[in-house]
């Protein structure tokens, strides 16, 4: 089609996510298989890469915006703009689960944190006793400095005995079939269960250099 030398692209094709070090394809395809196409970066400079009219330009590209151009009968045409995002990812998926404490009383707030290191795009799911009732509140903090980490925080307000059980987070890389899961066991008691009975009064005196024992019965 001389009036539309570039095959129209869908919005999903214009945003390209690439892991560090991987090659990718900028899908500016042409309706004429013999068209001479040039890849341009955001500075208007030509970028060398292998071209296939059915696929586009393939290579390792820095993050940024790219446009393809071609000339038909002396008229220059430009493709849609393609945006490449470079993502940090590792072959393994380092995950750590943390709990402020593992024993709670009824009415307290349970807080469990799952931290994913050195990966920027991760799908993370929580499994916990109150998930069916959607009792948990989930927050994500994307920390870049001093190192990359995703901090997922699960909060259970007004805990009850029914919230006792396994709290598990499962992380999956968005671009690779790599997953990792971590678990912590949380216990919620109906009421406090420690009883202290001191064998001394609230005010005690001691002579200089005297050694005195303070005894407490714990139940």
pLDDT of 191: 84
* 95-189 and 11-87 share a CATH fold: yes
If you average pLDDT over residues 17-25, what whole number do you get? 85
Biggest CA pair distance of the chain: 107
- Return the CATH superfamily for domain 11-87: Immunoglobulins (2.60.40.10)
- Return the CATH superfamily for domain 95-189: Immunoglobulins (2.60.40.10)
pLDDT of 61: 93
pLDDT surpassing 90 at residue 83? yes
- Does pTM top 0.75 for this prediction? no
Domain boundaries, the chain: 11-87, 95-189
114-153, pLDDT tens digit by residue? 999 988 888 999 999 999 888 999 999 999 889 889 999 9
Contact, 126 vs 95, CB < 8 A?
A: no
Determine phi and psi for 12, rounding to 5 degrees: -65, -30
Pairing of the two strands 15-19 and 82-87: parallel
What is the rounded distance in angstroms from the CA atom of residue 173 to the CA atom of residue 178?
A: 6
């Amino acid at each position: 089609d001389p009036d539309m030398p570039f095959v129209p692209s869908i919005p999903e094709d214009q945003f390209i996510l690439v892991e560090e070090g991987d090659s990718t394809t900028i899908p500016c395809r042409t309706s004429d298989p013999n068209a001479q196409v040039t890849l341009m970066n955001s500075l208007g400079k030509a970028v060398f890469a292998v071209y296939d009219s059915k696929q586009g330009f393939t290579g390792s590209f820095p993050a940024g915006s790219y446009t393809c151009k071609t000339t038909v009968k002396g008229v220059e045409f430009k493709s849609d703009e393609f945006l490449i995002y470079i993502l940090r990812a590792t072959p393994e998926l380092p995950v750590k689960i943390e709990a402020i404490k593992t024993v709670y009383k009824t009415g307290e707030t349970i807080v469990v944190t799952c931290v994913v290191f050195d990966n920027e795009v991760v799908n993370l799911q929580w499994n916990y006793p109150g998930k069916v009732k959607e009792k948990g509140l989930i927050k994500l903090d994307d920390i870049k400095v001093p190192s990359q980490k995703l901090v997922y925080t699960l909060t259970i307000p007004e805990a009850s005995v029914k919230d006792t059980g396994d709290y598990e987070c499962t992380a999956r890389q968005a671009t690779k079939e790599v997953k990792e899961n971590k678990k912590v066991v949380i216990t919620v008691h109906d009421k406090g269960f420690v009883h202290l009975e001191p064998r001394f009064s609230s005010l005690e005196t001691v002579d200089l250099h005297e050694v005195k024992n303070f005894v407490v019965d714990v139940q």
